[in-house]
Structure 1
Amino acid sequence: MIELSLEEIATVTGGRLVGPDARITGPVVTDSRECAAGSLYVARVGEHADGHDFVPAALAVGAAGVLGERAVDGASCVVVDDVELAFAEVARAVVDRAPNLQIVGITGSSGKTSTKDLLGAVLARFAPTIAPYGSLNSEVGVPLTVCRIDEATRYLVAEMGASGVGHIAYLTKIAPPSIGIVLNVGQAHMGEFGSVEAIARTKGELVEALPQDGVAILNVDDSRVRAMASRTQAKVILVGLGEDADYRATDVSIDEAGRPSYHLTCPLGEADVRLALVGEHQVGNSLSVIAAATSLGLALGDVVEAVAGAGAASRWRMEVSEVGGGVTLVNDAYNANPDSMRAALRALAHMGTSRRSIAALGEMRELGEASHDEHTAVGQLAAELGIDRLVVVGAGAQAIAQGARTAGMTADAITTVDDIDAAHDVLVEQIAPGDVVLFKSSRDSGLRMLGDRLVEESGTPAFPVTEVTS
């Protein structure tokens, strides 16, 4: 981190320092267990825990100071009225002390984390780069990421999520981007936004925040994203499959492992691009990454080479495990919405071209009134893609089974279960040598843990891969 004193933190937040001044030379954290010597511990007050209760634990491992809403005996504390807002102000102060920093913001209803990981890996090949761990894309996650930069950091990749109008605008004030990527507008968090139009308005806040000399990278194949070109003063670069894309992919193909390749045409020239990532949806993600990296002045050939060498980085995002009996387990169950569910099923279909495919699917949450219809549509797509077997997990996902049946999937190919323990038992019984199995659901539906469990058991008698005749 760029060092700040507690006095400086008090100044930028409008807080008051209680206790002696100290310099923050270690990580800035919101979890006392992650404190180290010189840390700033941000004592948040949540629904289930009060961070101030953990200040003694933070001090015990070397925290130099606390940012909180009340003083704690024995600690040097910057006391503020609202710790979340104050944390944002600290992060912005860090950005303002890094004059050579260039920030790329990424948003979209799906694919943010995969794109962030890919861009972070590419840029890190050329200069010191900070990108979020996992999905730190919220009003707390973005400051945590920002506070990891130091004087040497050249690039910051900021993933920006939202659950309401104004959220992304807020995040751009913490980490003001010079390049903004909008991947897509889908139905994630529909229950909170109320409409796709509200989602589009919010995603567009990213390009509205760009400076006149900035760059907005927009998906030409999503009409709502494309329309954001009128909402920015920045230069617009269109990416995608459409004929008028500035960075266009043609001749897209998918190998048996689900990895795409394509021919790229852009203002800087042409190149053949191969990805180590799984899923055709990664084509659009990689186009955005290439456009961003070259907009930062990096050579096209070097960027394409770096893209080809980058694999999945975050857990539970098309995470492929090859286990006993030639079985492939694909764990994409960190989160799910209709768009990402369709993308994962299409990837499974490609991987299952010459193998038997099994989809273990759970509930997509936060879809509001559209939930039943969207789950039904997922089941229909699974049947239309020729997925061989379907295991539907949990009451909230049962419309998936209904949709699959109406689209022609036979009853004996569909199993519905109440929970992940029951799904585990079904899969252990059904999985055969050579199968490819997808796990996909929203985070709280728990299928990511089911995928991990089967990977862990793959070398034990609890995972008896057996031959099947049907």
Structure 2
Amino acid sequence: MIYFIFVELLIFAFLMVVLRHSFMRAKHFLHVFQQLGYKMPEYWKYIKGNQLGAFVVTAHLFAVPLFLLSFVESRFTVTAYALLVSIFGIGFFLPTAYIRAQRPKKPLVFTPRLKRLFATVAVLYVVLVLAGSLPAWQFRVLLPDVTILALVWVLADMLTPLFVLFAASLMKPVENRIQEGFKHKARQKLAQMRDLRIIGITGSYGKTSVKFMIKTLLEERFSVCATPGSFNTPMGICKVINGDLEAHHQVLVLEMGARHRGNIKELCDIASPHIAVISNVGKAHLESFGSQEIIAKTKGELLLNSRPDATAVLNSDDPLVMGMPRRQSTTVIPAGLESGIFVVDDVRYGREGCTFTLTLKETGESATVTTRLLGEHTIRNLMLAFGVGHHFGLRLQTMALAAARIEPVEHRLELKPAGDITIIDDAFNSNPIGAKNAVDVLAQFMDGRRFIITPGMVELGEEEEAENRAFGRHIGESGIEGVYLVGPKRTRPIYEGLTEAGYAEDKIKVFESFFDARDYMNATKQPGDVVLLENDLPDVYNES
């Protein structure tokens, strides 16, 4: 009897080990789903991209000995066979380190939504294993049929990525209902704040930087509330309106992001702006949009869905922005580096930022602007902020003083002293223009060796390979001392672009992960080195 109890405990231990393995896999795929913004099409694309690897992992090789043992089951006693299957199963399913082979850059966050999703995944998993395990007990008295039991539990483990997809589908009506409640609450609150001025900002890139620039300038005279970080989704905006916006605030600055047609309109339906700011139309998220023309139409939704008497502050250097349809009643303030209501002269870049002279064409008023921000595109973004400030009646000199206090946005050409070396952190969501400008900034540092760590650019659709090759050529022509590429397959076009530009191959290092590149940099660094971190892709893009 004790022997039977021991075997039963071993079978139970085997099932618990499989359950632990399934739990780790569920966390992994939920993490992927969260990093993809809970978007089911993107998640399904990720699964298809991994093909069989998403479903079959090392532990599932347990099916091989299980299959072979089933042929000789009659030669063993019931208990001995159950003992063998359980031992083999524990051996195969106990290791879980390979499920997350690399250190995550952004950890899984157990938000209320994720908890609901996790619970639904758990219910689907339990239903399958319980229903599938019933036949294993039907014709056995003391022990279950371990072959059926093992097959059912292994199958449930294999189907974990699909459980996440099915759970998301089941919970979609619930999540929509919850989100509508948050939207309704946000609309009600804004309706009660009749004197509040709402600024909406969109563009392919630079939205977050422009947002904080505007906030800093307007805080010279007004009480300003702005969305933090890259909060640019409906729920991100609602969270700020419902939780952070207070009665004393006079201006609300909202960043409005988009990956698909209609996204900006949805945001404007929550908070219709009095002032619309559009930074540019680039190739960011080209893969999901399909073309720059569609990107322009999507960003242009901001102009068509702002208030009827809205003011639009537009990047006058971008023809796609200036050509966007808008209401006749909309007042346009053009602001750019080469054109618009301002004239920019005597631009000087340095390790601490840049200085330039700014003149308002209308009055001839001028001021010297000194900022800690880096890059030519930063000045162009700053012109949009100055355009908004001008609309609110701020003097040029007042805005110039405020510009000196603008802090670099995290991971956007952020200068970070790191002991005896300097890091230029431009790790957030690289794009062709921003990446080129970042390399130009790096090339301006002449006091030490200059290196770049990059995995290249993504979500550029059919142009991704060509853009990365062009990026490689630009790096090769910049004169920097070393290039560290992350991901052998992904960065192949960059490598080819570097060699096309005549860049020495012995200066190029290729690594499997960002952490490997960083560790190598730390091991070989010298005092005075300057390192540009250009883009840091989410974990879903890891090649290993």
TM-score after normalising by structure 1: 0.75
Q: Which residue of 2 aligns with 1:307?
A: 403
Are residues 226 and 353 of structure 1, via their aligned partners in 2, closer, same or farther at CA, if it must alter by over 3 Å? farther
* Of 202, 208, 214, the match for 1:119: 214
Q: Which residue of 2 aligns with 1:86?
A: 181
Residue identity (%): 32
Aligned residue for 1:302, secondary structure, equals helix
Quote the Cα distance in structure 2 between the aligned partners of 1:184 and 1:46: 37
Q: Which residue of 1 aligns with 2:310?
A: 214
Q: CA deviation at 1:329?
A: 0.6
Are residues 132 and 432 of structure 1, via their aligned partners in 2, closer, same or farther at CA, if it must alter by over 3 Å? same
* Of 360, 381, 404, the match for 2:474: 381
Q: CA deviation at 1:229?
A: 6.2
Aligned residue for 1:372, secondary structure, equals helix
Q: CA deviation at 1:242?
A: 2.7
Contact residue 337 and residue 383 of structure 2 kept, 8 A: no
Q: Which residue of 2 aligns with 1:263?
A: 358
* Of 430, 434, 455, the match for 1:362: 455
Quote the Cα distance in structure 2 between the aligned partners of 1:353 and 1:217: 37
* Higher mean C-alpha deviation, range 178-187 or range 339-348: 339-348
Structure 1 runs (4+) deviating above 3 angstroms are: 31-34, 43-51, 229-233
Contact residue 260 and residue 277 of structure 1 kept, 8 A: no
Q: Which residue of 1 aligns with 2:524?
A: 430
Q: Which residue of 1 aligns with 2:425?
A: 331
Q: Which residue of 1 aligns with 2:237?
A: 142
Quote the Cα distance in structure 2 between the aligned partners of 1:310 and 1:233: 33
Q: Which residue of 2 aligns with 1:371?
A: 464
TM-score after normalising by structure 2: 0.65
Q: Which residue of 2 aligns with 1:411?
A: 505
Are residues 425 and 181 of structure 1, via their aligned partners in 2, closer, same or farther at CA, if it must alter by over 3 Å? same
Contact residue 330 and residue 436 of structure 1 kept, 8 A: yes
* Higher mean C-alpha deviation, range 422-431 or range 403-412: 422-431
Aligned residue for 1:136, secondary structure, equals coil
Contact residue 414 and residue 424 of structure 2 kept, 8 A: yes
* Higher mean C-alpha deviation, range 123-132 or range 175-184: 123-132
Are residues 150 and 387 of structure 1, via their aligned partners in 2, closer, same or farther at CA, if it must alter by over 3 Å? same
* Of 238, 243, 248, the match for 2:343: 248
Cα deviation digits, residues 69-122 of structure 1 (max 9, x gap): xxxxxxxxxx99622233222111111111121111111111111111111122
Cα deviation digits, residues 348-371 of structure 1 (max 9, x gap): 122x23432111111322122211
Q: Which residue of 2 aligns with 1:239?
A: 335
For structure 2, the residue ranges without an aligned partner over 5 or more in a row are 1-107, 123-173
Matched, 1:401 2:524: no
Matched, 1:290 2:383: no
Q: Which residue of 2 aligns with 1:165?
A: 261
Contact residue 201 and residue 255 of structure 2 kept, 8 A: yes
Matches within 5 A, 1:55-134: 82-134=177-229
Quote the Cα distance in structure 2 between the aligned partners of 1:176 and 1:294: 21
* Higher mean C-alpha deviation, range 216-225 or range 138-147: 138-147
Are residues 81 and 302 of structure 1, via their aligned partners in 2, closer, same or farther at CA, if it must alter by over 3 Å? closer
Are residues 439 and 47 of structure 1, via their aligned partners in 2, closer, same or farther at CA, if it must alter by over 3 Å? farther
Contact residue 220 and residue 238 of structure 1 kept, 8 A: yes
Specify the structure having the higher radius of gyration (Cα): 2
Quote the Cα distance in structure 1 between the aligned partners of 2:329 and 2:523: 57
Q: CA deviation at 1:166?
A: 0.9
Amino acid at match of 1:210: S
Matched, 1:420 2:514: yes
Amino acid at match of 1:302: T
Are residues 93 and 44 of structure 1, via their aligned partners in 2, closer, same or farther at CA, if it must alter by over 3 Å? farther
Amino acid at match of 1:253: R
Are residues 232 and 158 of structure 1, via their aligned partners in 2, closer, same or farther at CA, if it must alter by over 3 Å? farther
Contact residue 382 and residue 404 of structure 1 kept, 8 A: yes
Higher strand share: 1
Quote the Cα distance in structure 2 between the aligned partners of 1:403 and 1:153: 50
Quote the Cα distance in structure 2 between the aligned partners of 1:368 and 1:132: 29
Higher helix share: 2
* Higher mean C-alpha deviation, range 338-347 or range 106-115: 338-347
Amino acid at match of 1:377: A
Are residues 344 and 48 of structure 1, via their aligned partners in 2, closer, same or farther at CA, if it must alter by over 3 Å? farther
Q: Which residue of 2 aligns with 1:8?
A: none
